[in-house]
Structure 1
Amino acid sequence: MRSMYVVAHPEAAHHIEKVVGGWHDSRLTAAGLRAAGAIARTLRAEIPEGVEVEVVSSDLRRARRTADEIAGLFGVAPVLDRRLREKSYGEAEGRPQEWLDRRFVPPPATGDRMGHHEGVPGAETRGECARRVHDAMDDILGRPATHQIVVTHGFALTFVVTAWIKMPYESLGSVSFRAPSGSITELREDDFFHNRQVVSLGATGHLG
């Protein structure tokens, strides 16, 4: 059986400063650091002793710090993969959210949603973000660890899950899995049927 736990990093400075995140390299807040500790303890209690555990994380500071907290309890070093970063918002990153809101061009209800450009120079399309996250997941799932912990971001998490359930790229235009900051999503593949389950999505009970 393979188990994967997908962590959406907890509260970071850009959340409370109301600035655009994306690749803006904000730090965890004090509350975020406490939540990272709770996430780590919850995963340590959930995963059996003695099994091989791999921690893979976005390289942005808020995710990396969360991964360090988790990896420390398992006695491993986190693997950093920039492909697990949040969607890039280009020139909007680090600016007030209202700056982005004034310029944002929402995607059409139908048509080319994956290639749609949202009106901000340097921003990724949905398709560009999805492709790199799926590429990262191909590599992660090609490794032998039976228990893997992936630390990523709220928007990118959707594509971690779609890669897990093998949704084709062409079907990703409208899908969205909502997982709050600091949440844990549990994924599992059984040994017999090799079905890939979404056991839980965006669980936050560990945050109290």
Structure 2
Amino acid sequence: MRTVYVVTHPEATHHIEGVVGGWHDSRLTEGGLGAAAAIARALRGRIPEDAEVELFSSDLRRTRETAEAIAEVFGVGAVLDWRLREKSYGVAGGRAQEWLDQRFVPPPAVGERMEHDEGIEGAETKAAVARRVYAAMDEILERPCAHQIVVTHVGSLTFVVTSWIRMPVEAVGYASFRVPSGSITTLREDDFYRNRAVVGLGDIGHLGVG
């Protein structure tokens, strides 16, 4: 049986500064660092002591710092993969959230959503984000390890989950799994039917809330 624990990084500086995250390389706040330690302890409590564990992470600073807290508890190194990053908002990254909000063109209710141009120079389409996250997850899931931890971002988690359940990229135009920062989502594949389940989505009980 395989279990994948998907972690969304906790509070980062862009959250409290009111600026756009995306590829803006913000760091964890003091509260975020404490939450990362709580995430690591929670994962340690869920994974057997003698189990082999693999750790993968987006390469942005806020996810690296989260992965470092987990790595310290498990005694493993993190494999950094840029494809697990949050969506790029192009020139909006690091700017005030209001700047983006004033220029953002939302996707249509009906019609092309995956390749929709949001009106922000350099911003990724939903299709571009989905394809790179799927590619990263394909490589992770090719590995035989039964306990894997993936540290990513709130926006990217949707595509981790849809790749897990093998939803075709072209079908995810309306998909959205909104979870809190600092959450743990648990994915499990049984070793008989090979069915893939979403056992828990966006758990934040380890943070003392939810």
TM-score (structure 2 length as normaliser): 0.98
Aligned length: 208
What residue number does 1:80 align with? 80
What residue number does 1:65 align with? 65
What residue number does 2:111 align with? 111
What residue number does 1:28 align with? 28
Q: Deviations over 1:22-81 (max 9, x none)?
A: 000000000000000000000011100111100000000000000010011111000000
Say which SS state the counterpart of residue 105 (structure 1) adopts.
coil
What residue number does 1:185 align with? 185
What residue number does 2:49 align with? 49
Q: Deviations over 1:110-167 (max 9, x none)?
A: 1110000100100000100000000000000001111000000011000000000000
Displacement of 1:178 after TM fit? Answer: 1.0
One-letter amino acid of the structure 1 residue matched with residue 138 of structure 2: D
One-letter amino acid of the structure 1 residue matched with residue 114 of structure 2: M
Say which SS state the counterpart of residue 130 (structure 1) adopts.
helix
One-letter amino acid of the structure 1 residue matched with residue 117 of structure 2: H
Aligned 1:159-178 pairs, distance under 5 A: 159-178=159-178
1:134 maps onto 2:134 in alignment = yes
One-letter amino acid of the structure 2 residue matched with residue 155 of structure 1: G
CA distance in 1: counterparts of 2:72 and 2:3, whole angstroms: 19
CA distance in 2: counterparts of 1:163 and 1:103, whole angstroms: 30
CA distance in 2: counterparts of 1:156 and 1:111, whole angstroms: 22
What residue number does 1:156 align with? 156
One-letter amino acid of the structure 1 residue matched with residue 41 of structure 2: R
Moved over 3 A (4+): none
Say which SS state the counterpart of residue 59 (structure 2) adopts.
coil
CA distance in 2: counterparts of 1:62 and 1:194, whole angstroms: 33
One-letter amino acid of the structure 2 residue matched with residue 71 of structure 1: A
One-letter amino acid of the structure 2 residue matched with residue 54 of structure 1: E
CA distance in 2: counterparts of 1:162 and 1:200, whole angstroms: 14
CA distance in 1: counterparts of 2:101 and 2:75, whole angstroms: 43
What residue number does 2:201 align with? 201
TM-score (structure 1 length as normaliser): 0.99
CA distance in 1: counterparts of 2:155 and 2:42, whole angstroms: 23
Superposed CA RMSD in Å reads 0.5
CA distance in 1: counterparts of 2:207 and 2:68, whole angstroms: 18
CA distance in 1: counterparts of 2:68 and 2:142, whole angstroms: 23
CA distance in 1: counterparts of 2:52 and 2:165, whole angstroms: 22
